[in-house]
Amino acid sequence: MGNNRQIRLAARPVGEIKPEDWSHVSVDVPRAGDGQFVGRTQLVSLDPAMRGWLDDRPSYLPPVGIDEVMRAGTLVEVVESRHPDYAVGDHVVGTFGVQEYAVSDGKGALKVDKPAATYLGALGMPGMTAYFGLLEVGALKEGETVVVSGAAGAVGSVVGQIAKVKGCRVIGIAGGPEKTALLTEELGFDVGIDYRADGPDGVRKAIRTAAPDGVDVYFDNVGGTILDAALANLAMHGRVVICGAISQYNADQPTPGPSNYLSLLVRRGRMEGFIVFDYAKRYPEAAAELAGWISEGRIVLKEHVVPGSIDDFPATLGMLFRGENVGKLVLDVR
């Protein structure tokens, strides 16, 4: 077997991630011990949460250590196995890291039927995040009005489509005319708002026009001024689901909080954060329901697959934070 190429964290980024924050190294390909298998990476998932994993502060997962292989969800093909449940040729999804070969004891791993990006997207962490965030944390009810930001992204595009399945009015916020058109023309959203064209004040007004009776559920992927615009339009007993804040992840100083948070008082609203891992026991239930909607054509998958090698990981991650992807961003290293 050849070398195992890895992307490791070389330095903690301050603000935007720079090329020097990564090291590209080659090590020996691992061998499977008793009860282990070795997988060759095929697809690497790129997720907004990755930025948070690089900061040395208390969070829901320990930060990636300096000189450690970068954490990532990947889809691998088993190339060697001494584990009874995994055979050579199997496809497995897990948090195997940004490297060409990974060794695993199968903990937290999931066998899938084919090497499809869907297993990292609508049926992976983004799909689970959309499902539990909208239905459990947001407590969505039929006929309500939903606004989602980052609407053309991996999580947002599924949030909006689940809301449509549930008979809701859905307004998506995205950056640029192409993404905004995608929302209404391909994904079935009722309204698409382009935050780049409209600016913060324009977004507030556009939400008011699209949701004159207020927003029942706002699913926030971005934070910043868009969160404020949504708070200003909250309906009575509205819920704000805090899923992420990609607009703030690369900031190198504390960013201002939502100054309209007092809408929560006037509108008797709720703002709640969650971490999808807390729902891990219920993933199969969500995956079954999502798979059904996908096969019925009620949820369309948007995947943005970039072909390349493991060494292209840093550049591909940059696309995510510049908003250059449409749908779930995946690096295909086959």
**Interface with a second copy by CB under 8 A: which residues?**
58-60, 223, 228, 242-245, 248, 254-275, 278
Whole-number Å distance between alpha carbons of 204 and 72: 35
What's the closest the beta carbon of residue 62 comes to a second copy, in angstroms? 13
- Compare residues 62 and 177 and give the one whose CB is closer to a second copy: 62
What's the closest the beta carbon of residue 278 comes to a second copy, in angstroms? 6
- Compare residues 39 and 269 and give the one whose CB is closer to a second copy: 269
What's the closest the beta carbon of residue 202 comes to a second copy, in angstroms? 18
Whole-number Å distance between alpha carbons of 290 and 277: 17
Whole-number Å distance between alpha carbons of 34 and 39: 15
- Compare residues 58 and 297 and give the one whose CB is closer to a second copy: 58
Whole-number Å distance between alpha carbons of 27 and 129: 34
Task: Find the length of the chain.
Answer: 334
What's the closest the beta carbon of residue 215 comes to a second copy, in angstroms? 15
- Compare residues 113 and 252 and give the one whose CB is closer to a second copy: 252
Whole-number Å distance between alpha carbons of 140 and 217: 7
* Adjacent-strand bridge partners of 24: 7
> For residues 272-282, b (16+ Cβ closer than 10 Å) or e, as one string?
eebebeebeee
What's the closest the beta carbon of residue 258 comes to a second copy, in angstroms? 4
Other C-beta atoms lying within 10 Å of the C-beta of residue 298: 14
- Compare residues 123 and 137 and give the one whose CB is closer to a second copy: 137
